[in-house]
Homo-oligomer: A and B are copies of this chain.
Amino acid sequence: MKKLINAVDDVLSESLEGFAAAHADLVRISRSPTFVARAGTPTENKVALISGGGSGHEPLHAGFVGFGMLDAACPGQVFTSPTPDQMVAAAEAVDGGAGVLFIVKNYSGDVMNFEMAAEMLAGNHATVLINDDVAVEDSTYSSGRRGVAGTMIVEKMVGAAAEAGLDLATCQALGQRVNQATGSMGVALTSCTVPAAGKPTFELGGDEMEMGVGIHGEPGRRRVKLAPAAAIAEEMIGAICQSLQPERGEPVLLLVNGFGGTPLMELYLMYHAAAQQCGARGLEIARSLVGNYTTSLDMAGCSLTLTRLDDEMTRWWDAAVHAPALRWGR
């Protein structure tokens, strides 16, 4: 295992300390239980958005804590769900009186622990479950479709709505609507390596790729020979459109998300390939994002995500955001 780390047991804590120090103007961390929250006091009468999940997907979720997006994030150990006490402490720290909305990726451990936290909470709360991965119906870690890179699109749009003062039920309904309108699919060229395991999660031949891979390196649709970017994009956009059924002429958001080990040069090339596939289907790419937003440690590969946009979603997407990993409009 070749990683820039010290002791394996300290990877999460040292990375979080670095994150908090590098962004001290935006975030603060609680160390026991562990969560990341916006710097300063909670915004009064604003719905508080909280997400969380296993670490190893950075910048998801802590990188999205900030104005116009999340109020707090609860990081578990690498690829391990955070615990209910983290979520409860985060909720109590950031609830400004308008309630708490949990944004939860559909993995069995995350779902269970967020449910337990919800039961322990005295205040108003609601949950949006994210399941944008169109690759498989059930997987190693999930019952039903997995939640992957589309999560950050929900966090961005609902975060803007919460910042604008929408109430808890409206924010929840918006989150569910954005999730419904969003589909993703991933491909891995290499495995990731979990620090505590010390070796690759799975083995891929030198000429193979895993189509439909999950963000923990869990199996996808099939293991096939490495294909050109154009063919990969065709299969992924095809599968997403099969699920979302967008109409010709419809505006979409296209997110090309790197898994951590693939450089930007290839991500832009994949954007080009994906845009051609969208064009062939008569879709109008109205908004775009390219970069490493929902990673799988050091896995090489990427995912493509489409969201069918309406005017309201576009407005929430365009609204100002100021988080460590996403910033525009201020």
What is the interface of chain A, defined by CB distance below 8 A to chain B? 2-7, 11, 14-19, 21-23, 55-56, 58-59, 63, 187, 189-190, 206, 209, 226, 228-230, 232, 256, 260-273, 275, 285, 288-290, 292, 295, 297-298, 300-302, 327-330
Contact = CB atoms under 8 A, between A and B. Distances in A.
8 residue pairs, one from A and one from B, having the closest CB atoms? A18-B272, A260-B263, A18-B271, A18-B268, A58-B264, A4-B266, A2-B189, A15-B269
Contact of A272 (B21, B189, B262, B298): B21
Contacts of A271: 18-19, 21-22
**From A18, A206, A300, residue with most partner B Cβ within 10 Å:** A18
Given A22-B288, A272-B18, A55 B265 contact: yes
Contacts of A267: 4, 18
A249 to B, nearest CB: 18
A69 to B, nearest CB: 15
A2 to B, nearest CB: 4
Contact of A3 (B19, B55, B56, B266): B266
Secondary structure class of chain A's binding surface, majority of residues: mixed
A189 to B, nearest CB: 4
Given A292-B292, A327-B328, A4 B270 contact: yes
Given A2-B190, A300-B261, A268 B226 contact: no
Nearest to A228: B6
A80 to B, nearest CB: 14
Given A272-B15, A300-B298, A59 B228 contact: no
13 contacts: A2-B206, A5-B266, A14-B229, A16-B268, A17-B272, A18-B268, A18-B269, A58-B264, A59-B264, A262-B298, A263-B297, A263-B298, A329-B330
B56 A4 contact: no
Contact of A298 (B5, B56, B261, B290): B261
Contacts of A17: 272
B261 A261 contact: yes
Nearest to A272: B18
A295 B258 CA distance: 14
A298 B266 CA distance: 9
A193 to B, nearest CB: 11
Nearest to A206: B2
A102 B232 CA distance: 39
B297 A265 contact: yes
Nearest to A16: B268
A232 B263 contact: no
Contacts of A5: 228-229, 266, 269
